[in-house]
Amino acid sequence: MPTKMRLFQVVGRKAPTPNDESPQIYRMKLFAPNEVNAKSRFWYFMHQMRKMKKTTGEILDVNEITEKNTNYVKNYGIWIKYNSRSGTHNMYREYRDVSLNAAIDTLYNDMAGRHRSRFQSIQIIRTATVKSSDCKRVTTTQFHDSKLKYPLPHRVVRPTTKQLRSKYLATRPSTHFN
Amino acid sequence: LVFLGISLIWYNMGFTRFVEVGRVALINYGPDAGKLCTIIDMIDNNRVLVDGPREKTGIHRQVMTTKRLSLTDFVAKIPRNAKEKKIVAAWEEQGILAAWESTSWAKKLATKKRRAALSDFDRFKVMIAKKQKSEIVTKKLSEISA
């Protein structure tokens, strides 16, 4: 399923000058919706951390990094720095998902929902797939049970297609399906 | 044995169908509606990793929201994250497809599908058959009540 955020590797450096023939090359992995935004974010970060910007530098390469295997569930640990209304904080968040991009999507939506922080106030410092034994959050570790099983209580009945929706039903719907 | 069954129902708060590794579920919404799939892992509260197996039901390995699933009574004996081959083997060993087809749930779905695909001539034939059936029934009923 296509995600909003994609992982890009952007490689860039300060433009070579007569004083500095081959400047230091920097590589950044960052999340952005597309290549154009990726390049823009690259300059945003590089400008903060090194003395270079879009006008004085050049981007050598932009590559998308895709998930190696989306066929199994991983625990993603994400370290972020975000601005709240009264300060800036570090955070560590965990998400269970099938691909890193999907986890990052969830992260941004989650941060927006829980902390009202938007894309521009969040910086992703580090991401990693975390081993089940190293996970810290209960919401992820509760799924690390080999014999996990749970019922689906209170199922809301939904017609199979939109066309089958009706304003009135003959009988009151049941929400218990064992 | 009856006591065990009742205590199990009590222990499980009346639930008998669970989201678990191997649970066979019917997809009830979306482009794959009406097809069976096997749950091979749980991602989080709302999502599960699901596989057909593709050979048996046409569903590829994918993420599915539990909202789209109707759990059935069948559980395939597979390990978590089982490869498609293992799921197919479990399905064949346990005869899940045949068992599903023989449930009244599956039969009702099949008749619904059949009825939706009837041509006008077929519907005419159904009307005639219904009339013939009701004729037999009323005749028998009048014989009994007389």
Nearest to A96 among B15, B20, B44 (CB): B44
Nearest to A72 among B28, B33, B81 (CB): B81
Confidence of residue B14 (pLDDT cuts 50, 70, 90): confident
Nearest to B29 among A149, A152, A158 (CB): A158
Lowest mean pLDDT among A59-68, B5-14, B131-140: B5-14
Cα→Cα distances A5→A9, A10, A136, B46, Å: 13, 15, 25, 21
Nearest CA distance, B2 vs chain A (angstrom): 19
- Checking A133-141 for CB contacts under 8 A at 24+ apart, the result is A134/A77, A135/A75, A135/A77, A135/A94, A136/A77, A136/A92, A136/A94, A137/A93, A137/A94, A139/A94, A139/B44, A140/A75, A140/A94, A140/A95, A140/A96
Nearest chain A residue to B15 by CA distance is A178
Size of interface A-B (CB pairs under 8 A): 63
Cα→Cα distances B100→A86, A149, B25, B83, B111, Å: 58, 21, 11, 22, 14
What predicted TM-score, i.e. pTM, was given to this entire model? Answer: 0.88
Nearest CA distance, A162 vs chain B (angstrom): 10
Q: Supply the pLDDT for residue A121.
A: 97
**DSSP run (H or E) holding A31:** strand A25-32
Q: Supply the pLDDT for residue B68.
A: 95
What interface predicted TM-score (ipTM) does this complex get? 0.87
**How many Å apart are CA B62 and CA A70, to the nearest integer?**
9
Token code pair at residue B32: 């794959």
User: Mean pLDDT, 10 residues at a time, over chain A (178 residues)?
Assistant: 94 95 96 97 96 95 96 97 97 97 97 97 97 96 94 91 91 87
Give me chain B's average pLDDT, please: 94
Q: Supply the pLDDT for residue B115.
A: 94
**How many Å apart are CA A175 and CA A154, to the nearest integer?**
5
Q: What are phi and psi of B41, to 5 degrees?
A: -165, 155
The answer to whether A73 and B49 have CB atoms below 8 angstroms apart is yes
Tens-digit pLDDT profile for residues B16-71? 999 999 999 999 999 999 999 999 999 999 999 999 899 999 999 999 999 999 99
Q: Supply the pLDDT for residue B146.
A: 78
* Contact residues, chain A, for B13 at CB < 8 Å: 151
Q: Supply the pLDDT for residue B36.
A: 97
